[in-house]
């Protein structure tokens, strides 16, 4: 497993003194003192490093229901998932150390928490048994105590979707108001605090190894997401650890690390990670911060103990988000073991700890996919099976490659690529409409703007262009609106935002996927094609043609995606997610269309459609825009629900006709899609 470049081999450094690593006394990890006030303090958005107002609790342990303190007197011969926590962390993100600026405070003595009395234990158990019930009881429910301890895939997905829905809504609210001077807008931290306090979380029990419901390759755009699902419980620190009882003393044991580029890591190899220890301000750019040797304490000590115990460590790699240059995206890369540790001089001239982690064989690919895509972008490696570098012939602002590495087929049947919808002049869907009169950028909450007023006074998108919630109909500013061209209310009109690829699947024809990680709510593409009349559509109900018809009158599996209003105290707002299209819209992409025609059906899709209307030449036209339902890792096939077609002619037997066999492979697969459903 030495593979990779020579840069990832352990250097025979003459400055390396192993005695500094091995001959030390372990620090005793103290149980943090939790606030005695059972009421959750109101959230105040403050800079990651404080200062914090009176009564405000930093994010770890998030004011949520706390697991029991482990019995440290019980002997444990092998690493066990005991629940013990490192020191309380302050608010912040993207730092390996205890402070947001990368610095390490001196160890602070804290009183060890006293054992709970039997009455306190009963009260704590009673608190865990209470489930949350606000507004919509079908969606906003607390996680049961057993699932808070050990979740599954369904629970993990639910927690993550609810977090992002709340974060998007909070971002929308923040965008609509002036930010108080000196405060940092962090909707992710506020959303995490709210969900933790409501018990909407899972996998609270710390453990060595895999986390139930979290899969290798999963991506995260915020540290809080990882905290909520138990992958990495530190909202800021890069090393997460637990405490186990050894033969003589208690040992900290590393359970997960985040390598996000803030330290002198060597992370180019897909199977080997050279990880730098924490502390010493080695990544600080502030001249008034003292730079010192790193110490073998806290996370560093936990990594050293994990080396000798040979336990598995979860590795999360952080990379720059290619869509948003100011953001990072984190990918769970699976389980590693620490093979070696040493001390060397860093760029600052001070000693830093180095740990060589080797990926366990036989795991699904994750980070290696990202490395391959990077090589394709930079031209260092040719795409295997590449047929066309851009099947759109320049019709899109981002090329769409055509790839087949499965068989010898050279491409799909001929069609004319067209980037948007084509309406027939013989019929119209909506009455004459007029755009806004804004001379600059449209502003959220400005009811003088007709486009904002049609959206109920809100921008339908966040500042970075992410859809906040599903709506009956989203109204965007149109081409003839006088507002600036880059108005934030024009998201779906400027073509593709991510690098897509049409590829040959093994058993479902051609499919669509993305080179880029896609955040939930991100616009992907619209469904382009020719708008056809319903009479003509009746002749396209069976066979291959049915795969290229989008029909808004079909029956689609309902799902909840929007934020629960109870979480932001909005019980009186309209939360409907039912679409309201003025007239049925049927689009055929058989002869004319775009990349959307290659998206396959799934009973558990990762993409959903949203009707969007905007004005053009004093007429309002409806478009079908596709958005990411959840975070989608690179090279994951993009799918949506094709729905079931209802026949206008009832035959009285509720029979399915002309249905297609579904091969989506989902655990919730209903076995078919499309067809004509006759009803009474």
Q: Dihedrals φ, ψ of 60, to 5°?
A: -105, 120
Give the HSE-up count for residue 527: Cα atoms under 13 Å, Cβ half-sphere.
32
588-639: pLDDT as tens digits: 999 999 999 999 999 999 999 999 998 877 788 899 999 999 999 999 999 9
Of 127-136, 177-186, 337-346, 551-560, the least confident = 127-136
The pLDDT confidence band at residue 48, using thresholds 50, 70 and 90, is very low
Number of residues in the chain: 680
Question: Who has greater pLDDT, 468 or 72?
Answer: 468
All domains in the chain, ordered by first residue: 142-205 (no CATH), 233-280+292-381 (2.30.280.10), 386-431+495-578+589-646 (2.170.270.10)
Place of tokens 């010493």: 280
pLDDT of residue 637: 97
pLDDT tens readout for residues 267-277:
788 899 999 99
**What pLDDT score was predicted for residue 149?**
82
Q: Give the pLDDT of residue 395.
A: 94
554 vs 184, higher pLDDT: 554
| pLDDT confidence band for 21 (50 / 70 / 90) | very low
Name the nearest CA neighbour of 216 among 434, 319, 358, 368.
Answer: 368
Tell me the mean pLDDT in the region 201-219. 95
Residue 675 region, left (φ>0) first, then alpha (ψ -120 to 50), else beta?
A: left
Q: CA-CA distance, 468 to 462, in Å (whole number)? A: 6
Which single residue is written with the structure tokens 């690593």? 21
Determine the pLDDT at residue 537.
Answer: 57
Radius of gyration of the chain (CA): 27
Predicted confidence (pLDDT) at residue 448 exceeds the cutoff of 80? yes
Of the given ranges (37-41, 64-68, 111-115), which has the lowest mean pLDDT? 111-115
When pLDDT is cut at 50, 70 and 90, the band that residue 183 belongs to is low
CA 631/CA 633 separation, integer angstroms: 7
pLDDT at 326: 77
pTM of the model: 0.79
Per-residue tokens: 247: 């033969």
pLDDT tens, residue by residue, 370-389 = 999 999 988 877 889 999 99
pLDDT at 562: 94
Q: What pLDDT is attached to residue 543?
A: 42
More confident residue, 580 or 467: 467
Q: What is the pLDDT of residues 565-592, one digit of tens each?
A: 888 877 666 678 899 888 889 999 999 9
Say what percent of the chain tops pLDDT 90.
Answer: 46
Q: How far apart (Å, rounded) are the C-alpha atoms in residues 318 and 447?
A: 41
Contact of 526 with 421, CB cutoff 8 Å: yes
- What does the pLDDT look like over 322-358, one tens digit per residue? 877 778 999 999 999 999 999 998 888 889 999 999 9
Q: Furthest-apart CA pair in the chain: how many Å?
A: 86
Q: Hey, is 145 helix, strand or coil?
A: helix
Token digits of residue 406: 């499965």
CA distance 635 to 517: 8
* DSSP state letter for 531: E
Q: What is the pLDDT averaged over residues 450-469?
A: 91
pLDDT at res. 143: 76
Mean pLDDT of the chain: 77
What's the confidence (pLDDT) of residue 428?
59
- DSSP class of residue 120? H
Q: How many CB atoms lie within 10 A of CB 282?
A: 27
The predicted pLDDT at position 175 comes to: 83
252, pLDDT greater than 50? yes
DSSP conformation letters of 9-77 = SPP--TT--HHHHHS-PPPPPPPPPPPS--SPPPP----TT-PPPTTPPPSTTTTSPPPPPP-TTS--S
Per-residue pLDDT, 387: 95
Task: Quote the pLDDT of residue 41.
Answer: 40
Query: What's the CA dihedral at 347, 349, 353, 359 to 10 degrees?
Result: 20
**Segment holding 147, helix H or strand E:** helix 145-149
Mean of pLDDT values over 89-109: 36
The candidate with the shortest Cα–Cα distance to 354, out of 336, 341, 373, is 341
Q: What is the pLDDT of residues 413-425, one digit of tens each?
A: 999 999 999 987 6
Please, is 420 exposed, middle or buried when counting C-beta atoms within 10 Å of its C-beta (0-12, 13-18, 19+)?
middle
CA distance 609 to 526: 8
**Residue 97 pLDDT grade (very low, low, confident, very high; cuts 50, 70, 90):** very low
Locate 58 and state its tokens.
């930093």
Dihedral over Cα of 358, 362, 363, 367: its sign: positive
Tokens 């058989």, located at residue = 590
What pLDDT, on a 0 to 100 scale, did the predictor assign at position 60? Answer: 38
Predicted confidence at residue 279, as pLDDT, reads 84
Res 555 pLDDT > 70: yes
| Cβ-based neighbours of 508, under 8 Å, separated by 6 or more | 600, 663
pLDDT over threshold 80, residue 32:
no
Task: Tell me what pLDDT residue 46 has.
Answer: 39
Q: Is 313 helix (H, G, I), strand (E, B) or coil?
A: strand
* Per-position DSSP letters for 226-270, written without gaps between them: HHHHTS---SS-SEEEEEEE-SSSEEEEEEEEEE-SSSS-B--SS
Residues 616, 614: Cα–Cα separation, whole Å:
7
Split at pLDDT 50, 70, 90, the class of 176 is confident
Q: Pick from 67-81, 141-155, 218-232 the range whose average pLDDT is largest.
A: 218-232
Question: How does residue 148 score in pLDDT terms, banded at 50, 70 and 90?
Answer: confident
- Residues 167-188 as b or e (16 or more Cβ within 10 Å = b): bbbbbbbbbeeeeeeeeeebbb
Pairing of strands 272-276, 351-359: antiparallel
């Amino acid at each position: 497993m030495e593979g990779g470049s020579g840069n990832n081999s352990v250097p025979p450094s003459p400055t390396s003194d192993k005695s500094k690593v091995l001959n030390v006394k372990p620090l005793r990890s103290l149980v943090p003192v939790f606030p005695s006030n059972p009421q959750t303090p109101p959230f105040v958005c403050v800079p990651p490093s404080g200062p914090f107002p009176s009564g405000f609790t930093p994010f770890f342990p998030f004011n949520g229901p706390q697991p029991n303190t482990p019995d440290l007197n019980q002997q444990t011969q092998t690493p066990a998932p005991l629940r013990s926590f490192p020191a309380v962390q302050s608010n912040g993100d993207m730092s390996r150390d205890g402070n947001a600026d990368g610095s390490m405070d001196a160890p602070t003595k804290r009183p060890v928490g006293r054992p709970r009395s039997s009455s306190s234990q009963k009260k704590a158990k009673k608190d865990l048994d209470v489930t949350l019930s606000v507004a919509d009881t079908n969606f906003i429910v607390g996680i049961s105590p057993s699932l808070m301890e050990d979740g599954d895939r369904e629970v993990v997905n639910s927690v993550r979707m609810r977090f992002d829905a709340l974060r998007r809504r909070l971002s929308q609210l923040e965008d609509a108001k002036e930010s108080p001077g000196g405060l940092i807008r962090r909707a992710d931290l506020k959303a995490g605090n709210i969900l933790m306090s409501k018990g909407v979380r899972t996998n609270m029990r710390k453990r060595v190894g895999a986390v139930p419901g979290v899969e290798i390759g999963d991506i995260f755009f915020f540290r809080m997401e990882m905290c909520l699902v138990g992958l990495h419980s530190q909202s800021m620190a890069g090393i997460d650890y637990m405490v186990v009882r050894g033969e003589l003393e208690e040992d900290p044991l590393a359970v997960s690390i985040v390598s996000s580029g803030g330290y002198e890591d060597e992370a180019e190899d897909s199977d080997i990670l050279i990880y730098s220890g924490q502390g010493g301000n080695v990544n600080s750019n502030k001249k008034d911060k003292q730079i010192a040797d790193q110490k073998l304490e806290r996370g560093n000590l936990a990594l050293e103990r994990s080396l000798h115990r040979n336990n598995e460590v979860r590795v999360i790699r952080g990379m720059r988000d290619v869509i948003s240059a100011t953001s990072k995206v984190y990918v769970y890369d699976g389980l590693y073991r620490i093979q070696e540790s040493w001390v060397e001089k860093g760029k600052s001239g001070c000693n830093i700890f180095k740990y060589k982690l080797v990926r366990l064989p036989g795991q699904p690919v994750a980070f290696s996919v990202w490395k391959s895509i990077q090589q394709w972008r930079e031209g260092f490696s040719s795409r295997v099976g590449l047929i066309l570098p851009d099947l759109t012939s320049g019709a899109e602002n981002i090329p769409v490659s055509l790839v087949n590495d499965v068989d010898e087929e050279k491409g799909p049947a001929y069609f004319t690529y067209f980037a948007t919808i084509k309406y027939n002049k013989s019929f119209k869907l909506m009455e004459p409409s007029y755009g806004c009169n804004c001379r600059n950028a449209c502003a959220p909450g400005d009811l003088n703007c007709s486009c904002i007023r049609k959206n109920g006074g809100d921008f339908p998108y966040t500042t970075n262009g992410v859809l906040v919630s599903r709506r009956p109909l989203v109204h965007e500013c149109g081409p003839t609106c006088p507002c600036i061209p880059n108005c934030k209310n024009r998201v779906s009109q400027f073509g593709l935002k991510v690098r897509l690829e049409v590829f040959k699947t093994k058993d479902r024809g051609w499919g669509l996927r993305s080179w880029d990680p896609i955040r939930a709510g991100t616009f992907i593409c619209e469904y382009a094609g020719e708008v056809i009349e319903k009479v003509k559509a009746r002749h396209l109900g069976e066979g291959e043609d049915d795969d290229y018809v989008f029909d808004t009158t079909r029956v689609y599996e309902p799902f909840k995606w929007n934020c629960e209003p109870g979480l932001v105290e909005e019980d009186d707002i309209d939360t409907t997610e039912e679409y309201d299209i003025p007239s049925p819209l049927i689009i055929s992409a058989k002869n004319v269309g775009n990349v959307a025609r290659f998206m396959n059906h799934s009973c558990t899709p990762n993409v959903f459609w949203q009707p969007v209307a905007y004005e053009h030449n004093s007429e309002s036209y409806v478009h079908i825009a596709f958005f990411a339902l959840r975070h989608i890792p690179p090279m994951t096939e993009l799918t949506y629900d094709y729905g079931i077609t209802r026949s206008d002619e009832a035959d009285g037997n509720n029979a399915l006709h002309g249905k297609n066999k579904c091969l989506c492979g989902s655990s919730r697969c209903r076995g078919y899609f499309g067809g004509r459903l006759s009803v009474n």
